[in-house]
Chain A
Amino acid sequence: MDTSLKFERTDEDDNHVLLRLHGDVTIHTSPRLREQLKPLLNASTREIRVALEHVDFMDSSGIATLVEGLQWARLTGGRFVLSGLSENVRDVFELAKLDTVFEIEGNSA
């Protein structure tokens, strides 16, 4: 069980951000994901891409944090995109019936 979560942020330009996650997103680590996302959820950001190819496990607290990003996108007209979901993580989104609600690109493989 990976209790750490690391972030790799790339500002592709002034309003397009790529956030790559490394580790498990759980009730322990999702507050740190929220800390990373919160400053991005403003009117000047146009697109946030969250890369999940290095995430093997995500629980509902992780999904709930990502839902906040989705709500930001709905409110501001920005894009909130998830990419590189592993089989386990994609399965959790499907079980939560949120796989069709999020904009999801590609697989991790």
Chain B
Amino acid sequence: MVTSNCIQDVSFPDCESSHVGKLCLQLNCKSDCIHVLRSVVAVMTARAGMAELQSNRVAIAVDELFANIAAHAYNGKPGRVEFETCIDGNVEGCQELIFDFRDYAAVRWTGNLEEATTHAPSDESLCPGGLGLRLICSVADRCEHEVCTDGNRWRLIFNINDGAS
């Protein structure tokens, strides 16, 4: 059990030193938890053998998703977020780096992931908002969202050994 300002619990459900071991954090959702996630991302991308540019991309996506949950789901107020990450094989036998986020916010996200991926800003549509989701969808090989009865579930998946984006 680890207690800090933002981490409520941490565990290694499988083998701690294994590449397929799962790391779970229960966070008190505040934007200053991002430094914790950044450290976790650094460890996992190193384990995945990703280059610096790829690691930076993964860090961007994880940062942005967590910031979105903090800002929009919890409206800037502290709230519970379960965070899990692992390296695992998919049905085709390829290795994937996976990040799962589960929040318990009253706000259910109802946006369109496909639109966020394909939308390119033009001079006319230039605006500061919506950049985070565009970055997430640009970087992750897959971004999945599920509306739960008591919150949201997000999954970011990065293929390993093919550029991670």
Contact = CB atoms under 8 A, between A and B. Distances in A.
Contact of B128 (A28, A57, A67, A97): A67
A61 B52 CA distance: 21
Contacts of A59: 60, 63-64, 67, 132, 135
A98 B121 contact: yes
Sorting the interface of chain A by its residue count into under 10, 10 to 19, 20 to 34 or 35 or more gives 20 to 34
Contacts, number: 74
A1 B38 CA distance: 8
Contact of A64 (B35, B60, B131, B138): B131
A101 B64 CA distance: 21
A8 B57 CA distance: 28
B127 interface: yes
B129 A97 contact: no
B31 A27 contact: yes
A94 to B, nearest CB: 9
Instruction: Tell me the dominant secondary structure on chain B's binding face.
Output: helix
A92 interface: yes
B1 interface: no
Interface in B131-165: 131-132, 134-135, 138-139, 165
A6 interface: no
Nearest to A91: B53
Contact of A97 (B63, B67, B121, B132): B121
B139 to A, nearest CB: 6
A71 interface: yes
Nearest to A67: B128
Given A60-B64, A67-B126, A97 B134 contact: yes
B142 to A, nearest CB: 16
B138 A88 contact: no
A83 interface: no
A68 B134 CA distance: 18
Interface string A68-105: 10110010000000000001100110011110010000
Interface of B: 31-32, 34-35, 38-39, 52-53, 56-57, 59-60, 63-64, 67, 120-121, 123, 126-129, 131-132, 134-135, 138-139, 165
